[in-house]
């Protein structure tokens, strides 16, 4: 049985208006979970973390926009019982029916904030916080941020640098961080792409007489790890992602690297890398019909589901797919990133505008 119901709280002025109570119905993907936590921590309101166990065979509630708990295993999930929260922050299709059910139990009092792409119409939420690749329609309750919310801050980077600095002392500086994502939509992270990325990363580190700090992620295919090991030819540290690993060096790599190479399949990873203020090089993945980097021939590793997704992008409704190139174009035009192999001509301070906008909109729901 897995159950987690951790309560977080901040010190509150006894004479102040009580802060709204918050439930985090956590996402089942790492990117969504990170965004949900980033928003909750920045709000500073007390929150309960609700971990859910999902029934993989239960699609009716999600597909038909229901409002019940048939899609989760109640005995293996955090308790969902009164007092009902003032606010639910969530993400992911499987959590949408749960949010609607909670609001119904509260008599309609609970506000729903959804992060990412909602599968129901936006008007079923009090606020949707999203990014350009989902191509959501303009609505008063839809906040279109340039990048995803994240938990990177100057304070956290300083702490992570202090924690991980001694562990990398045996490696020559400067450090080039390499963050690998995985398959996404029409794009595939396969052996050909990994070889190309590592070859360029080797060259960058060798030119600087430095090292590579490499991390895979939850979506990195196991089939490319061996290729990755064989392709690295410079001093390096390589971390293989593991679930719930307290020794995950991801933020340490962000903190200690002098520059970062990030695969362009993940808006979350790009957002976190840009938040460090360091040079960020996007590494393109090969894809069908929708090249990440127009005008450049990129190796394509075959994946049937990638080919199917490209057909869906071409012939299906836009709401069923995403076009991550819209985010790439924004980042490139603003000077936040360059493609791997190119040089920076300008740099833009990313700041924290996206998170600030999200905080303003959530607080406005309570006139707080």
Tens of pLDDT along 345-356?
766 555 568 999
- Residue range(s) defining the domain that contains residue 277: 154-349
111 neighbors 366 (Cβ within 8 angstroms): yes
What whole-number percentage of the chain has pLDDT above 90?
69
- Report the b/e string of 114-126 with b at 16+ CB within 10 A: bbbbbebebebbb
| Model pLDDT, residue 1 | 37
**In a shared domain, residues 64 and 200:** no
Closest CA to 86 of 48, 118, 51, 119: 48
| Model pLDDT, residue 351 | 55
| Model pLDDT, residue 44 | 94
CA angle 256, 280, 207 (to 5 degrees): 70
Query: For the residues 100-110, what does the mean pLDDT come to?
Result: 96
| Model pLDDT, residue 46 | 95
Q: Look at residue 7 and tell me whether its pLDDT is greater than 70.
A: no
**In a shared domain, residues 171 and 220:** yes
Q: Look at residue 48 and tell me whether its pLDDT is greater than 90.
A: yes
| Model pLDDT, residue 4 | 45
**In a shared domain, residues 127 and 166:** no
Looking only at the bridges linking them, the beta strands covering 286-287 and 187-188 are antiparallel
Residue 314 lies in a domain: yes
Sequence-ordered list of residues with C-beta below 8 angstroms from that of 90, at least 6 positions apart, any chain: 24, 25, 26, 27, 36, 96, 98, 99, 112, 113, 114, 115
Q: Which of 97-111, 285-299, 340-354 has the lowest mean pLDDT?
A: 340-354
Residue 27 lies in a domain: yes
| Model pLDDT, residue 317 | 83
Domain count, the chain: 2
Q: What is the CATH number of the domain that holds 96?
A: 3.40.50
Residue 2 lies in a domain: no
| Model pLDDT, residue 31 | 78
Closest CA to 224 of 270, 263, 282, 185: 263
């Amino acid at each position: 049985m897995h159950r987690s119901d951790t309560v977080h709280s901040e010190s509150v002025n006894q004479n102040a208006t009580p802060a709204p109570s918050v439930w985090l119905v956590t996402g089942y993907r790492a990117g969504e979970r990170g965004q949900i936590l980033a928003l909750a921590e920045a709000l500073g309101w007390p929150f309960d973390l609700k971990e859910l166990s999902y029934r993989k065979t239960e699609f009716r509630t999600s597909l038909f926009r229901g409002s019940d708990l048939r899609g989760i295993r109640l005995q293996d999930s955090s308790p969902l019982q009164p007092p009902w929260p003032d606010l639910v922050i969530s993400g992911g299709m499987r959590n949408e029916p749960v949010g609607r059910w909670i609001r119904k139990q509260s008599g309609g009092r609970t506000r729903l904030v959804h992060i990412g792409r909602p599968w129901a119409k936006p008007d079923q939420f009090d606020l949707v916080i999203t990014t350009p690749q989902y191509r959501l329609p303009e609505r008063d309750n839809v906040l279109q941020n340039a990048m995803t919310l994240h938990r990177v801050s100057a304070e956290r980077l300083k702490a992570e640098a202090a924690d991980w600095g001694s562990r990398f002392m045996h490696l020559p500086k400067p450090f080039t961080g390499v963050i690998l994502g995985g398959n996404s939509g029409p794009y595939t992270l396969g052996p050909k792409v990994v070889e190309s990325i590592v070859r360029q990363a080797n060259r960058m580190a060798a030119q600087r007489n430095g090292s590579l700090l490499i991390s895979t992620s939850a979506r990195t295919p196991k089939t490319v790890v061996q290729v990755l090991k064989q392709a690295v030819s410079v001093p390096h540290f390589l971390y293989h992602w593991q679930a719930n690993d307290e020794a995950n060096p991801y933020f340490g790599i962000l903190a200690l690297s002098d520059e970062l190479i990030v695969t362009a399949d993940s808006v979350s990873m790009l957002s976190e890398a840009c938040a460090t203020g360091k040079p960020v090089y996007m590494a393109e993945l090969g894809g069908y019909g929708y090249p990440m980097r127009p005008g450049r021939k990129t190796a394509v590793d075959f994946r049937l589901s990638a080919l199917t997704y490209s057909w869906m992008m071409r012939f299906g409704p836009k709401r069923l797919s995403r076009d991550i190139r819209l985010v790439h174009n924004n980042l490139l035009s603003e000077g936040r990133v360059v493609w791997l192999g190119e040089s920076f001509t300008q740099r833009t301070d990313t700041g924290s505008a996206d998170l600030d906008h999200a905080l303003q909109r959530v607080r406005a729901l309570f006139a707080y």
